Amino acid sequence: MNLIIDIGNTQAKVAVFEGNKMVFRIQTDAENIFKKIEEIQKKYENIEKAIVSSVGKLDKNSFETLKKDFQLLFLDHNTVLPFKNLYSTPKTLGIDRIALVCACVEKYANKNVLIIDAGTCITYDFITGDNEYYGGAISPGLRMRYKALHNQTAKLPLLSSKVPDGLIGNSTEQGIHSGVFNGVVFEIEGAIQTYRKKYGDLTVILTGGDTKMLSKQLKSSIFANSNHLLEGLNFILQFNTN
* Separation between Cα atoms, residue 175 and residue 190, nearest integer Å: 21
Q: Are 208 and 119 in contact (CB under 8 A)?
A: yes
- The annotation status of 125 as a binding-site residue, yes or no, is no
Query: Is residue 120 annotated as involved in ligand binding?
Result: yes
6 marked as binding residue? yes
Contact 67, 48 (CB under 8 A): no
The answer to the question of whether 97 is labelled as a binding residue is: yes
Q: Does residue 11 have a known ligand-binding role?
A: yes
Q: Is 238 exposed, middle or buried (0-12, 13-18, 19+ CB in 10 A)?
A: middle
Residues with catalytic roles: 96
Helical spans, DSSP H, in the chain: 33-43, 95-107, 142-151, 172-177, 183-199, 211-215, 228-241
How distant is the alpha carbon of residue 171 from its chain centre?
A: 33
Is 30 labelled as part of a ligand binding site? no
Residues annotated in a binding site for K(+) = 117
Residues annotated in a binding site for ATP = 6-13, 120
Residues annotated in a binding site = 6-13, 87, 94-97, 117, 120, 172
Residues annotated in a binding site for substrate = 87, 94-97, 172
